[in-house]
Structure 1
Amino acid sequence: MKKIFITIFIALLGTVFVVAQENSETTVKNSFTIEEATEFAKKHAYEVISTGYEMQQAKKKIWETIATGLPQVSAEANYNDNLELQTSLLPAKIFDPEAGDDAFVPVKFGQQYTSDASITATQLIFDGTYIVGLKASKVYYQLSADKMDKVKEGIQEGVMLAYYYVLAAEDNYETLKETLASSKKIYEEAKAYYEEGLREDTDADQAALSVANITAKVNEAQRSIVTARMALKYLMGLDVNSRIELESTLDQLINYVLITEQQQALDFSTHIDYRILETQLQAQQLMVKKEQATYLPTLSAFYRYGKNASTNEWNVFDKDTEWFTSSILGFKISLPVFSSGIRYSKVMQQKLALYEVENQIDQKLQEMKQNKLVAENDLATAKANYFTSEKSKQLAKKIFDKTKLKYTEGVSNSFELSQNEQQYLEAHSTHVEATLELLKANIAYEKAIGILLNE
């Protein structure tokens, strides 16, 4: 029975370990599609987190504004040691009717120790600036939310570009590795032919030079991958030393751009820049109302309850000390009468600021229309360049492959092979650049029409 219990315990322990390991693996994700990478970044990017704290501050600001119109209670207590009581002069006639009119008697009133305590409650009844300020605090929070969307749009753009660069760098690296392997093979053949006296030494030297050049390009491409991956992880909010795998392929992303309809209507309401200006317009309208509200009276109520005592003994809390109660209930009204034009000037300043925001909105509308047209043209150009570069790359590869075959058959020389190899690598590099320009142009287009954040 003891052995059975030990066996069951070990089995249960192993199960718990496996489950814990599976949970650990699922919580730490290191493989991302481009959509998953952007969504992850929108939650964990450093700038997003900082902007989130700003939103929390704006939310607390709303309550701060609300609380100023709620009851305010304060308490106060004092304990005084009158080291030297103040002396007052009383007419001497009070004590001696026969005293002259210019005769005074010095008298000290009070006792050495005094103490008082009070509690005061105030309540705002009406204040026009408070009502407007309450609305403004909510608009201020909306501005913070709009800023968050703007930050997320920028993060998404940056992550997508970094993702593209990683894929392009890896594609470039793989092509260069294949070319390097082919060049090494050609070099070994040229070296063997030279040692057998079938080729000149320049053929072997040219092949060796080609291997050296491509090796340098391969090493550079490998370093580019490391740099691009670090940039991507940083933008996503990941540790730059962590491992990350990319699930989306370059072909998938290119096909998405090529098959997606690019003639979409511009919806101003979805464009984050326009939404920010609309919120700023609301905020400025409230600023005008706030200054106009200074012409209105303010009304508040207060209640005060207190006790005070005085004695010649330092212990004012002695049972023989008598405490006297006082209380007061009152209302306070403040009515602005004349300010020599200060209030009017402030109202006009805010109105002029309002006109400025309205002008900025008109300008932004025209700018957005212009950006859409420019982005459409740039995307069309990028597509045309992509197809041209793809065709050029295929032709250069075809020429290079035929030249390699001719070289191995002794029909072509090393100089021609080197030229065609360089031509192919240049065509490949141009195609990589055209691919990146196509993907970047698509991002610019989606941003111009205001759908990038929603993608």
Structure 2
Amino acid sequence: MSPFTIVLAQDAENSISLSVDEAIQYAHQNHGTVLNASLDEKIATKKIHEITGQGLPQITASFDLKDFIELPTQLVPGEFFGGEPGTFTPVQFGTQYNATAGIEASQLLFNSSYLLGLKAAKSFQELSIKNIERTKVETSVNVSKAYYMVLINENRLELLEANIVRIEGLLRDTKVLEKNGFVEKIDLNRLEVKYNGLVTEREKVKKLMVLSMNLLKFQMGMSIETNLTLTDSIESWDTSTTSPVDQFMYEDRIEFSLLESQRELLNIDLKRNNLAYLPSLVAYGNFSYQAQRNEFDIFDFSAGNKWFKTSLIGVTLGIPIFDGLQKSAIIQQSKLELLKVDNNEEMLKQSIDLELSNALTNLTNAKSSLESQRRNMELAESIVEVARKKYEKGVGSNLEILNSETDLKQAQTDYLNALFDLIMANIDFKKAMGLY
């Protein structure tokens, strides 16, 4: 869903209605971890610009002004001034004020580290993009689980409300019967205890609803003050997106792709270290003017106050000869780091295999458990119905109704727990399959 569509769902009271897919999309646009991952990708892009700039011409302008409060002294052989050989005469050369203004330019002609550094920066950018995807996967899983937790609690509240209505009706009828002497006071008390227990549990579930809704908003990066309405329901959930395990490939998992990117970066680093033995070549040039004055009239350009011009061009060739075997040690480190990646890849495959196996087992067990709990709930509902009819005809007891109601409530709770377990197992299975 587009950001524009999500905005349209909001009203003036700061309310928003979202399906689970829309909630995931909202989280991708607003959650802090996703936003930070996107910023990391932008930082990587700027890093490419930085490294690219190192290969472009470097131009620097400068201005230097010196005031020699005391001119430097030089020792000149004494015989230059008629003195004895072996003696020295102190003399001072120069002017008090010296100024130099110039511009210097350099251009990198060849450097193996530069070319590979640029390639590494692009690979790092790709790694940052993949990290965004990994963050989105984790966010999608967290939002999905939180979303369905809210729906389960809504269903739990609905079932409690239905149970309270049923017990409330039975309590009214029993009060009439007790008043007319058809049932004992203890039967009425049992129903009141049951009713009060349900009411108390309903309040607990309502508070739990608030907590689970706040958790969902947090996972989405949404303000807790926002009025959020969930448009999906438990009935709309299904497992049709589950793919056969035999179609799984390790490349479907973003973690595997991240490891491959790390391997590529290490290979580039190894090449860079190997090519560090090659020479580097830099061209440079300098153009400057210099002024020398005994009076502070540096910026007086009239006749007699000359600025003297200097210009040069040159080339610097750097040839590595011996570095104390530092590069060799660095190359060996890079090779060892690549071996670590091989080990990490093997461990990741084993971890994925275990995760997928556990997820499939949990999903299979959850499906069986849900079907079993559904049958138990349907059976408990039929027992309650029979007990009520027997009680209405005077052949059943109040205690029998209470026991059947207690069994029904437990069966409903077990069913919802099994449904929640199945939904969580399905989400974990999809994550293990790389479907998020």
Equivalent residue number for residue 271 of structure 2: 289
Counterpart Cα distance in 2 of 1:200 and 1:322: 124
Paired residues of 1:128 and 1:298 also in contact (CA < 8 A): yes
Counterpart check, 1:445 vs 2:433: no
Q: 1:173 aligns with which of 154, 157, 165?
A: 157
**Structural mapping, 1:236-385, within 5 Å:** 236-253=220-237, 256-257=238-239, 260=242, 262-263=244-245, 265-320=247-302, 321-385=305-369
Cα displacement string for residues 368-397 of structure 1 (whole angstroms, at most 9, x for unaligned residues): 233323222221111111111111111111
Q: Which residue of 1 aligns with 2:212?
A: 228
Question: Counterpart of 1:66 in structure 2: which amino acid?
Answer: T
Partner of residue 393, structure 1: 377
Query: Residues 150 and 179 (structure 1 numbering): CA distance in 2 closer, same or farther, change over 3 Å?
Result: same
> Is the aligned partner of 1:164 residue 2:136?
no
Instruction: Please tell me the residue identity of whatever aligns with 1:332.
Output: T
Q: CA deviation at 1:87?
A: 1.7
- Deviation of 1:399 after TM superposition, in Å, equals 1.0
> Equivalents in 2 of 1:331, 1:86: separation in Å?
32
Distance 1:115 1:261, change over 3 A: closer
Secondary structure of the structure 1 residue equivalent to 2:247? coil
- Counterpart of 2:185 in structure 1 is 201
The residue type equivalent to 2:344 in the other structure is Q
Determine the C-alpha separation between the residues in 2 that align with 1:396 and 1:134.
69
Task: Determine if the alignment matches structure 1 residue 428 to structure 2 residue 412.
Answer: yes
Partner of 1:127: 111
Look up the match of 2:4.
none
- Between the aligned partners of 1:370 and 1:242, the Cα distance in structure 2 is 40
**Consecutive unaligned residues in structure 2, runs of 5 or more:** 1-6
Normalised TM-score (structure 2): 0.93
Q: Please list the CA deviations of residues 187-206 of structure 1 after superposition, one character each: whole Å capped at 9, or x if unmatched.
A: 12212211222111101100
Letter paired with 2:252: T
What are the superposed Cα offsets for residues 185-227 of structure 1, whole Å, 9 maximum, x if unpaired?
1112212211222111101100100110000111111112111
Q: Is the 8 A contact 2:242 2:430 kept in 1?
A: no
Query: Relative to 1, partners in 2 of residues 1:335 and 1:103: Cα closer, same or farther, differing over 3 Å?
Result: closer
Partner of 1:224, secondary structure, is: helix
Question: Is 2:47 the counterpart of 1:65?
Answer: no
Sort the Cα spacing of 1:263 and 1:81 in 2 relative to 1 into closer, same or farther, 3 A.
Answer: closer
Structure 2 residue aligned with 1:92: 78
* 2:15/2:227 contact within 8 Å kept: no
Instruction: State the shift of 1:95 in Å.
Output: 3.0
Contact 2:71 2:94 in 1 (8 A): yes
- Cα distance in 2 between the residues matched to 1:72 and 1:59: 21
Q: Deviations over 1:296-321 (max 9, x none)?
A: 11111111111111111112111342
2:189 is paired with a residue whose SS is helix
Q: Which residue of 1 aligns with 2:93?
A: 109
Task: Return the alpha-carbon distance in structure 2 between the equivalents of residues 230 and 174 of structure 1.
Answer: 20
The answer to whether the 8 A contact 1:262-1:376 is kept is no
Detail structure 1 runs of 4+ shifted over 4 Å in the superposition: 21-29, 258-264
Aligned mates of 1:184, 1:284 — CA distance in 2: 71
Q: Counterpart in 2 of 1:81?
A: 67
Distance change in 2, residues 1:304/1:89 (3 Å):
same
Letter in 2 for 1:196: N
| Aligned partner of residue 439 in structure 1, secondary structure | helix
Q: Is the deviation greater in 432-441 or in 229-238?
A: 229-238
Q: Which range moved further: 159-168 or 399-408?
A: 399-408
- Counterpart amino acid of 1:420? S
Structure 1 CA distance, aligned partners of 2:233 and 2:9?
28
Q: Deviations over 1:320-345 (max 9, x none)?
A: 42111111111111111112321111
Q: Deviations over 1:18-54 (max 9, x none)?
A: xxx9897499771112111112211121211121111
For the pair 1:34 / 2:20, whether they are aligned, the reply is yes
Distance 1:275 1:131, change over 3 A: same
Q: 2:136 aligns with which of 130, 149, 152?
A: 152
CA separation of 1:23 and 1:416: change in aligned 2, threshold 3 A: closer
Cα pair distance change 1:47/1:291, threshold 3 Å: same
Q: Percent identity?
A: 27
Higher deviation after alignment, 106-115 or 164-173: 106-115
How many residues are paired up?
428
Matched position secondary structure for 1:209 = helix
Query: Do structure 1's residue 52 and structure 2's residue 38 form an aligned pair?
Result: yes
Q: Which residue type is aligned with residue 406 of structure 2?
A: Q
Note the 1:207-218 alignment, pairs <5 A: 207-218=191-202
1:413 to partner: Cα distance: 2.4
Tell me if the contact between 2:127 and 2:258 (Cα under 8 Å) persists in the aligned partners: yes
Q: Which of 224-233 and 359-368 deviates more?
A: 359-368
Decide whether the 8 Å contact of 1:303 with 1:330 is kept in 2.
yes
Letter in 2 for 1:187: L
CA–CA distance in structure 2, aligned partners of residues 25 and 361 of structure 1: 49
8 A Cα contact 2:66 2:97, kept in partner: yes
CA RMSD, aligned part only? 2.0
CA distance in 1, matches of 2:429, 2:10: 40
